[in-house]
Structures are given as structure tokens and as C-alpha cells.
Amino acid sequence: MRRVAFFTGLMLMTLAFFACKKEEDGTAQLKVYLTDAPGNFEHVFIDIQEVRIHSNNGGWTSLPINAGVYDLLEFNNGMDTLLCNVELPVGRISQIRLVLGNSNSVVVDGTTHSLTTPSAQTSGLKLNLHQELEANESYSIWLDFDAGSSVVLTGNGEYILKPVIRTFSDLTNGKIKGIVTPMNAIPTVYAIQNGDTLTAIPDNNGFFMFCGVNGTYDVHIVPSVTGYSTAEVNGVQASFGTITDLGTIQIPN
């Protein structure tokens, strides 16, 4: 009887060990999205070929993404597109590499100009990201591609691509939104924090949104048409997981 009890206890301990081991070595769901801080172009086409992540559980891993050419200007004011949805081992992600192909271009005044970025095409753009993946959890990460800062016009009239990208996750995704009027002022909205500037171009209804923000920002609405003045909303507080609504902002004239 004691022998049966001993083996029963041993079996329960073994099952408990493997159950704990399975949970410890479990997987997490990761979604990677592409979004955009816009620029004053008609189109900015970016050829995304590969996304890699580096974790403490496997080193560099290439993710199964929806590779192809994306128009960044379709993904501003909170819009995005899913690059991949993958199940990964638990662990800590420390870096992301974004590898671009050769089919990058910008459209200005109806003319298409090729964009080149050799460093991104060879080794990939390395972005720091610190995200802990825990078993049976789901996570989202955004690659925020700043089109306005990334496309550079050189002195000889050529356009080159110097990608400016920031990353944020669902845990660090504070938002600031609002509506600008009148839109015939052709405004651009800036969110400024300690010398760093984010850009938004309102849609046809005047709506704008900044994502991945946290802390205190000064929001400036700068018109492109003479006869209007800059509107400012200073000291805007943003925090992770919340949306700060500025309401309707009137551009003075």
C-alpha cells in the first residue's frame, strides 16, 4: 500500500513538473503593425522585405511577414496595417530589424522619384525595443515610420531615404487626438516634447491623432495659407493606455 502511495505521489510530482515546464516554455502571440507619421508628399512607397527580432530565447529570428510595397501615407492618424501575426517562445525582445528592398519611391507633383537606402537593404534598420513576452499572452508592436523626416531632398534635386522610425507597443500606446478647423488653412499639427517633434497631417475632416505618446506635449497647429495664425495647445498630458481628446481647435485668422 505504501509502495502504491509512493508511486502515485511520484507520478503527481512528475506531472506537476512537466506542467510547470510547459508553462515556463510556453508561447506568446505577437502582432507587428506598420503605421506612419506623414509628410507632404502624394505617396511614399516603402518596400518591406523582412522583419527580424532579437530575443534572449533564440537570438535573431526572421518573422513571417506580409512582404511587399506599402504606401506609408495610407497609415496616418491612427491607421495601420498588419505586417505579421506570429506565435513566439516566451522571452524578452530587445531589438527589431527592418529590411527594405529596392522598390522604394516617392511621388511629388505627379512625378515618381526612386529612393535608395543601402544600409537598410543590406543589414536592416536596427531598432531598440524592450518587450517581455509571457506565456499565453498577446502583444502588439507598431513600427512608426516618419515619412516626412525619412525622405530627404538633396542639393542636386535627388530624393533619398534616411528612415526615421520609432517603436511602441500596446503597453506604451498613449494617444492624443483632435479636430482642426478650418481645413482650407491647410494645417500641419506638431506635438513637441523636449525638443522631439511628432507630425500629423489632418484628414479631410480635420481629424488628427498621435500614437505612442506619453508625458507632456505642446501641440502646435501651423497653417500653410497666409491670413491664418498658428494655434497652440500647451501642456497636453498623455499617458499610456489612454486617449487625450483636444476637441475642436480653431485656427485664428
Chain segment 179-207, per-residue pLDDT in tens: 999 999 999 999 999 988 999 999 999 99
**Predicted confidence (pLDDT) at residue 88 exceeds the cutoff of 70:** yes
**Predicted confidence (pLDDT) at residue 133 exceeds the cutoff of 90:** no
Better pLDDT: 234 or 15: 234
Q: What is the pLDDT of residues 28-72, one digit of tens each?
A: 999 999 998 777 889 999 999 999 999 888 789 899 999 999 999
pLDDT at 184: 94
pLDDT at 63: 92
pLDDT at 155: 86
**Predicted confidence (pLDDT) at residue 120 exceeds the cutoff of 80:** no
1: DSSP letter: -
- In the chain the domains, ranked by start, together with CATH numbers, are 26-171 (2.60.40), 173-253 (2.60.40.1120)
**Predicted confidence (pLDDT) at residue 233 exceeds the cutoff of 90:** yes
The mean pLDDT value of the chain amounts to 85
- For the residues 117-145, what does the mean pLDDT come to? 81
- For the residues 168-188, what does the mean pLDDT come to? 92
pLDDT at 7: 39
